[in-house]
Structure 1
């Protein structure tokens, strides 16, 4: 008979008395997305501050993690929700945490808002939808970082034929050529037009150069029987109307 001691199993046995590891603490933002969505559903989106509306947008582009710091950073960097959406792609991507895909998503929201407001203007005569027109040009230009000139070409019934950008420039100047503008009006068979441009400084007060170029455009249109109904200057601080100011 073999009297050698039996070999013991070398596999270590669990220590039944050892303390179990503590579960990892939940991140401080756990459940925040669900809570924010519930608040938006219960109280309406209009009750939310800008950064929380922006958070809801970011949820769709960034499926996990805490996006509140990024939302607040974007608002702080650009000044408002409208300015975030109006910022150009390169400016958006300069903010840490914003890549090309997220920048495109934010610009998509602005484009959707712009097209929806333009539809309101196109459905009726411009004169009868003046508040819709002001909302549209504010959406289009209030947060543009460079000066841009748009012209709304109207038919005999003052309905919108076309809305075209006719000049883009620097932070304080965009070129406008009255003869080219009237040539385009004739091509479209337009009977009237409304000039629109922005002041990136935020102050919509017309400059002396604005007044002079408007005078030249009015003169160029007079012999062609093309009227200039108004010239709107758009800034973050509001919209100035040449007609309301007695400048036209």
Structure 2
């Protein structure tokens, strides 16, 4: 007669012990050796104390295309992925915010213009993977120190309005002497458009009577960062 207790036994879930094995591999081989989905898994362990998070990590990468794009996604976009709740989405946005603040530190500690590589690194972290156009303005004092970095507008996948008078008004409020305009091209190609060039000239014209200059306009894409000044467009 068959032993019913043995017949009814189910094999253990494939993911049992996976967390411990993944943490051990990370400790022994280093985090840099892990693929992106396993990096996401490790972080998602924080918000999901039990269960298999590998499908969730892979679904996030499939939905957004890259690790950077996952972290740049908005809360509603992250929560649209099956299994990703508000807690997990907030945890992921926390990583993105920390990365931006770390990237901002070198530029904020020194004269912005002489810290050009730090500035370019910061704007790439902030905007490279944004799915919609975003306009930021860096307000500088007379010594080119960063006073404020503000997001002044969000747009669509291919357009974000820039209002020259509002930028100049804000510069006056902050006692800024110059600004650096920054926006992204979600298409990935940072080549300035005709509209980008025209609106930059409009900001320059609005600021000139008040001695507020446009030091540069940076366009960020996945393929790099284009400087208007370096291209001779300012």
**TM class, shorter-length:** over 0.9
Distance (Å, rounded) in 2 between the aligned partners of 1:192 and 1:25: 67
* Aligned match of 1:160: 146
- Residues 1:21 and 2:5 aligned together: yes
Distance (Å, rounded) in 1 between the aligned partners of 2:75 and 2:28: 33
Task: Give how far 1:57 is off.
Answer: 0.6
Task: Give how far 1:134 is off.
Answer: 1.5
Task: Give how far 1:200 is off.
Answer: 1.6
Please identify the structure whose Cα radius of gyration is greater.
Answer: 1
Deviations 1:183-206 (A, max 9, x none): 211111111110001112221111
* Aligned match of 1:148: 134
My pick for the range that moved more, 184-193 or 135-144, is 135-144
1:157-236 correspondence runs (5 A): 157-236=143-222
Number of residue pairs matched by the alignment: 232
Task: Give how far 1:20 is off.
Answer: 7.2
- Residues 1:131 and 2:117 aligned together: yes
Distance (Å, rounded) in 2 between the aligned partners of 1:88 and 1:168: 12
Deviations 1:98-140 (A, max 9, x none): 1122111111111121122222221111122222211211222
Distance (Å, rounded) in 1 between the aligned partners of 2:87 and 2:122: 26
> Structure 2: any 5+ residue segments left out of the alignment?
none
Distance (Å, rounded) in 1 between the aligned partners of 2:147 and 2:178: 10
* Aligned match of 2:84: 98
RMSD: 1.7
- Residues 1:47 and 2:33 aligned together: yes
* Aligned match of 1:244: 230
Task: Give how far 1:60 is off.
Answer: 0.9
C-alpha change, 1:47 and 1:129, in structure 2 (3 Å) is: farther
Task: Give how far 1:177 is off.
Answer: 1.6
Q: TM-score, normalised by structure 2?
A: 0.93
Equivalent position SS for 1:167:
strand
> Structure 1: any 5+ residue segments left out of the alignment?
1-16
My pick for the range that moved more, 81-90 or 233-242, is 233-242
Distance (Å, rounded) in 2 between the aligned partners of 1:129 and 1:164: 19
Equivalent position SS for 2:188:
coil
Deviations 1:35-78 (A, max 9, x none): 21112112221221111111111111111122112111110110
